[in-house]
Structure 1
Amino acid sequence: MPTIAIVGRKNVGKSSIFNRLIGKRVSIVHSEPGITRDRLYGEVLWQGKIFNIIDTGGFFPDEDDILANKITRQIEMALKEANLIYFVVDAKSGLLPADELICNNLRPLNKEIFLLVNKVDNQKDSLKVYEFSKLGITRTFAVSAEAGKGFGEVLDETAKILHDVKVVKEEKIIKILILGRPNAGKSTLLNTILNQERAVVDDTPGTTRDLVSARFEYKDKKFEIIDTWGMKRRASIKNPIEFYSMMRVMRVIDEIDIAVIIFDVFEGVVNEDLHIAALVLSKAKGMVIAPNKIDLLKKSALSRVILSTRNSFDFIDFVPVIPISAKRGIGIEHLLNTILMVYEESGKIANKKTLKTIVTNLKPPPRGAVLKIVQSNKRPPIFQVNITASIKENYIKYLRHTLRNYFGFQGVPILIKTKVVKKGS
Structure 2
Amino acid sequence: MPLPLVAIVGRPNVGKSTLFNALLGRRVSIVDPTAGTTRDRVAALLRQGTKVVEIMDTGGIGLVDESRLEDHINAQVDIAIEAASIIVFVLDVRDGITPLDTRVADRLRRQERPVILAANKADGRALEHEVHEFQRLGLGEPVPLSALHRFNTREIRDRIMAMAPEAPPTPADDAPRIAIVGRRNAGKSTFLNALCGTGRVITADLPGTTRDAVDVRVSRKGREYVFIDTAGVVKKTKVDQSVEFYAQVRTVEAVERCDVALLLLDITEEISQTDKKVAALVVDAKKPLVIVGNKWDLSRSTSEKFEEYFRRTLPNLAFAPVSFASALEGRHLWETVDLALEVLAQSRTRIETAEVNRVFRRALEERTPRVGRTKVPKIYYATQVSVHPPSFVLFVNDPKLFPSTYRRFLENRLRAEFPFGEVPLRLTFRAKERAEAGGGRGRR
Q: TM-score interval w.r.t. the shorter chain? A: over 0.9
Gaps of 5+ in 2: 371-375, 437-444
Check the 8 A contact 1:176/1:256 in 2, yes or no: yes
Residue 167 of structure 1 deviates from its aligned partner by 6.3
> Pairwise CA RMSD of aligned residues?
2.1
Letter in 2 for 1:5: A
For 1:92, which of 91, 94, 103 is the aligned residue?
94
| 1:86-137 residue CA offsets vs partner (Å, 9 max, x unmatched) | 1110112222221112112221112222110001122232132133232233
Instruction: Summarize deviations over 1:11-64 as a string: whole Å, max 9, x none.
Output: 00111111111222221111111111222222222243221212111122889x
> Does 2:203 correspond to 1:192?
no
- Look up the match of 1:341: 342
Aligned pairs, number: 423
- 2:416 counterpart residue number: 405
* Maintained 8 Å contact 1:49/1:165: yes
Give the match for residue 361 of structure 2: 360
Task: Please list, as runs of the form range in 1=range in 2, the aligned pairs for 1:130-145 lying within 5 A after superposition.
Answer: 130-145=132-147
- CA apart distance, 1:358: 1.5
Task: Give the 5 Å matches for 1:51-70.
Answer: 51-60=53-62, 67-70=69-72
Shift of 1:191: 0.9
Runs (4+) off by over 3 Å:
166-169, 217-222
Q: 3-state SS of the aligned residue for 1:413? A: coil
Normalising by structure 2, we get a TM-score of 0.90
Residue number in structure 2 paired with 1:178: 180
1:63-104 CA distance string (max 9 Å, x none): 9x9631121111111111112211110112222221112112
Query: 280, 289, 292: which is aligned to 1:290?
Result: 292
Whole-angstrom distance in 1 between the partners of 2:198 and 2:130: 40
Deviations 1:189-213 (A, max 9, x none): 1111122221011111111111222
CA separation in 1, counterparts of 2:52 and 2:411?
43
Q: Partner of 2:308 in structure 1?
A: 307
Note if 1:417 corresponds to 2:408.
no
- 1:138 Cα deviation from its structure 2 partner: 1.9
On the 8 A contact 1:294/1:323 being kept in 2, the answer is yes
Q: Distance in 2 between matches of 1:381 and 1:129?
A: 56
Structure 2 SS opposite 1:362? helix
Please tell me the residue identity of whatever aligns with 1:143: L
Corresponding residue to 2:394 among 385, 390, 395: 385
Q: What is the CA distance between 1:396 and its match in structure 2?
A: 1.4
Aligned twin of 1:329: 330
Tell me if the contact between 2:396 and 2:429 (Cα under 8 Å) persists in the aligned partners: yes
Classify the secondary structure of the residue corresponding to 2:118. strand
Q: Matched residues in 1 for 2:49 and 2:335: separation?
A: 42
Q: SS at the partner of 1:213?
A: strand
The answer to whether the 8 A contact 1:320-1:410 is kept is: no
- Taking the aligned partners of 1:218 and 1:165, their CA distance within structure 2 comes to 23
Please say if residues 5 and 79 of structure 1, whose CA atoms lie closer than 8 Å, have aligned partners that are also in contact: yes
Q: CA deviation at 1:250?
A: 1.0
Cα distance change on mapping 1:365 and 1:219 into 2, 3 Å: farther
Q: Which letter maps to 1:260? A: L
Q: CA deviation at 1:286?
A: 0.7
Report how far residue 280 of structure 1 moved: 1.1
| 1:125-182, Cα deviation, whole Å (9 max, x unpaired) | 21321332322332210011111111222233333333x3246452622111011111
